[in-house]
Amino acid sequence: MTLPSNGRPRVVPVARAADAAATPSPDARVPVVSPVVAPPVVAPPVVAPPVVATPFVSPVAFTPAVAAPVLPAGGQESSDEEVRRVNHLVDELRRHWTRTGADIAGRLRPGVDEAALDAAEHRLGLPVPPGARAWWRRVDGVDPYRSSRYRAQAPTVGPGGWVPLRLADALERTGSSVVGAPAPPGLLPLFARDEELIAVRLGSGPARVEQLVLADDGESYQHAWRVSLEELLGTWADSLLAAVHWLPDAHDWVVDPFALRAMRNAHLLD
């Protein structure tokens, strides 16, 4: 080791040496790091919906447009369909009566012709609904049978004990000369049970039937229920499968009360 001129060794402070080692040289190059700049967030333009002016409509002058039903030529679709359904129900009732051997199956009278129905309308001054015309074209009442030596009894349809009326008998019940109370105006009887009636309301629309019960005064009728003729005949046909049964030995119908209560429109079977 070479000593300085004074003969003493030179001491370099440790801290200063470390600083000298840590201090970069002025000539050293420091890498430049560019700052990361995020792209600007551009909000989408807000476009307001166009404002459409609503024209003012006077509430007095405005009338809602109601589309009329489109009918084929002649407007016979509804009446023809009603006739088809009534004919189908008559066939179904006939099958049930024949299957059970009920008396009414062999006592049905042949239907009337169009001339008889037209004459009835002329007498009444009102049209007979298509469904009722279809019924009388197939069934013009029943012929009574002799249940004993002294008594003749008319067979019934089964449910409720109703007897189909001949067209001539129905017309007589609308006149003033009828024994008892005549049918109310605008109604033509279809079925009878003692002093009660099921009558069809006259008019060109679908056949609607009403049960007429004799009032307490014995001179007028009260209305019990109103349904379509199709609904009545359909309920009768359904009941002959489940709730109303024919007893051949007794020549009468018997009703299963439990099955009757479970049926829809059971009030039409009373």
pLDDT tens for 212-243 read: 998 877 778 888 899 999 999 999 999 999 99
Q: What is the pTM of this model?
A: 0.70
Q: What is the pLDDT of residue 44?
A: 57
What is the CATH topology of the domain spanning 77-269?
SMI1/KNR4-like (3.40.1580)
pLDDT digits (tens, 9 = 90+) for 154-208: 899 998 999 999 999 999 999 766 766 789 999 999 999 988 999 999 998 999 9
Mean pLDDT, the chain, integer? 78
Nearest to 220 by CA among 187, 243, 256, 262: 187
Q: What is the pLDDT of residue 42?
A: 55
pLDDT at 92 over 90: yes
- How is residue 252 written in tokens? 């009468």
Domains of the chain, residue spans: 77-269
Residue 41's pLDDT band, with cuts at 50, 70 and 90, is low
Q: Which pLDDT value is given to residue 73?
A: 44
Would you state the pLDDT for residue 239? 95
pLDDT band at residue 59 under the 50/70/90 scheme: very low
Can you give the pLDDT at residue 153? 79
